[in-house]
Amino acid sequence: MSKSDNRIQSMIEAFRERFQAMPAAMAVGPGRVNLIGEHTDYNDGYVLPVALKRDVRVIFRPRTDRRVRLYSVEYDGWYEFDLDGMAYNSDILWSNYVQGVAWALQEAGLQLTGMDAVISGNVPKGSGLSSSAALEIATAHAFIHGSQQEHKLSGPQVAQAAQRAENAFVGVNCGIMDQFISMLGQENHALLIDCRSLDYQLIPFPEAAALVIGNTKASRSLAGSAYNQRRQECEAGVARLQTVLPGIQALRDVSSEQLEAHKDLLEPVVYRRCRHVVGENERVLQTVAALQRGDLAEVGRFMNISHDSLRTDYEVSSDALNVMVDAMRSAPGCYGARLTGAGFGGCAVALMEPGAEQGVADIIYDKYPKVTNIWPEVYTTRASSGAYTQVLTGDE
């Protein structure tokens, strides 16, 4: 029996124990890692994430009333609410993601029914791999399937509802990337997302290429305030550049050549922030072209440049992330490595030759703790499929 089968079985047993019944189905929402395109989303730019083999799962049974009863395996906790009486709970934070999704789906016009559900995930929390979006998308699939509302919303519309849940109900100002890739990812593909138009394109990702993720396990205490500051600096850059480039709406509309021609208009710090975003948008499209050619060495080179830009121009890396990336780059078979996510902690990702995964893991476990005094976690993944719902027959 595979690890995945073991997870399903243990969740079914948990459901039977808590609800004295058999579940009807399982909804799965994967986490994600962003290959390249960091801090471009709120500048109307491009991102290139892949779905992970790690996911959040909701095993559930529809109810005939409007009651929702939840049990979280990881938190060993219960939460119940009514679909006609949802309210933010400051004590049981995980419940707000489920409530928020139900609220957003109903706001989008879906007629939901209640459910009994067990929730469990193996996407590390607070690591920049988007466990929140994985929970939102799995929850959305469960509500939609259990309420027989399939085909009422498109995949992008479900992703947007999940984003609205996190923005308006949970109160986290996230972009659309995480929910989009969790919903729309496909096996052995990355997803190029235009964060302005929400157009997206599946980009073939070599099946042989491996992604190794190093979790620094370091605190991300600066991430919130610095994130808001970076957004303000980008907006200040756009406002100044609009005086000579009146057609632009966001940094996405600025080329590297235009930025260099008008750099004297910008404060030095604002210029560096803009240089990262403008260059990063260009790197995403260059990376897509390299993937389409099958040129993994070039993909790795762009990943390296991206990290160096995030470290020096955008200043969102950290000592722990830099140590992790340096360890990855020193491993035989590493094409390139970079931080992934907002920064200041969390994870880095390396693109590896086939068969080199254990070697880079060994180097990380050797080098990283000696410098940081923190024991990391290392995960190997390939580009995985997006969310799905599986009917449970009793044969799992």
So what's the pLDDT on residue 223?
A: 62
**Per-residue model confidence (pLDDT) at position 234:** 97
| Of 83 and 2, the one with more pLDDT | 83
pLDDT digits (tens, 9 = 90+) for 122-158: 988 877 788 999 999 999 999 999 999 999 999 999 9
pLDDT at 128: 79
Residue 186 has pLDDT above 90, yes or no: yes
* Structure-token pair, residue 144: 């939609």
Percent of the chain surpassing pLDDT 70: 97
Mean pLDDT of the chain: 94
CA–centroid distance for 113 within its chain: 28
Query: Which tokens sit at 53?
Result: 């083999």
Residue 320 scores a pLDDT above 70: yes
Report the pLDDT value the prediction gives residue 222, as an integer from 0 to 100. Answer: 59
Given this model, what pLDDT does residue 206 score?
A: 87
For the chain, what percentages of helix, strand and coil (3-state, to nearest 5) are there? Answer: 45, 20, 35
| 67 Cα distance to chain centroid | 30
Is the pLDDT score of 2 beyond 60? no
Q: With bands split at pLDDT 50, 70 and 90, how would you rate the model's confidence at 395?
A: low
Q: Regarding predicted confidence, which is higher, 382 or 298?
A: 298
Residues belonging to the active site:
178
pLDDT given at position 224: 65
Q: Where residue 104 falls among pLDDT bands split at 50, 70, 90?
A: very high
pLDDT tens for residues 36-46? 999 999 999 99
Domain 210-381 fold is: Alpha-Beta Plaits (3.30.70)
* Residue 187 pLDDT: 94
Residue with tokens 């180097």: 363
pLDDT digits (tens, 9 = 90+) for 13-36: 999 999 999 999 999 999 999 999
pLDDT of residue 172: 84
Residue 1: pLDDT over 60: no
187-239 pLDDT, tens per residue?
A: 999 999 999 999 999 999 988 789 999 999 987 665 667 888 999 999 999 99
* Dihedral of alpha carbons 38, 180, 334, 366, sign: positive
pLDDT score at 343: 87
3 state DSSP class of 170 = helix
Question: At 277, phi and psi to the nearest 5?
Answer: -65, -45
pLDDT of amino acid 300: 98
Cα–Cα distance measured from residue 72 to residue 95, given in angstroms and rounded to the nearest whole number? 9
Please state which of the ranges 142-146, 168-172, 329-333 shows the lowest mean pLDDT: 168-172
Q: Which two tokens stand for residue 309?
A: 């830009």
Domains of the chain, residue spans:
3-205+384-391, 210-381
The total of other beta-carbon atoms located within 10 Å of residue 3's CB is 9
State the fold for domain 3-205+384-391: Ribosomal Protein S5; domain 2 (3.30.230)
Strands (E), the chain: 25-36, 46-62, 67-72, 77-82, 115-121, 189-194, 200-204, 210-215, 334-340, 347-352, 377-381, 388-391
374: its two tokens: 């923190």
Beta-strand relationship, 67-72 and 115-121: parallel
C-alpha separations of 106 from 46, 84, 173, 182, 371 in Å: 30, 10, 21, 21, 50
Asked whether the predicted pLDDT for residue 308 surpasses 90, the reply is: yes
CA-closest candidate to residue 196, choices 137, 281, 132:
281
Dihedral (C-alpha) 100, 101, 106, 108: value to the nearest 10 degrees? 110
200-204 and 115-121 as β-strands: parallel, antiparallel, unpaired?
unpaired
The proportion of the chain whose per-residue pLDDT surpasses 90, expressed as a percent, equals 87
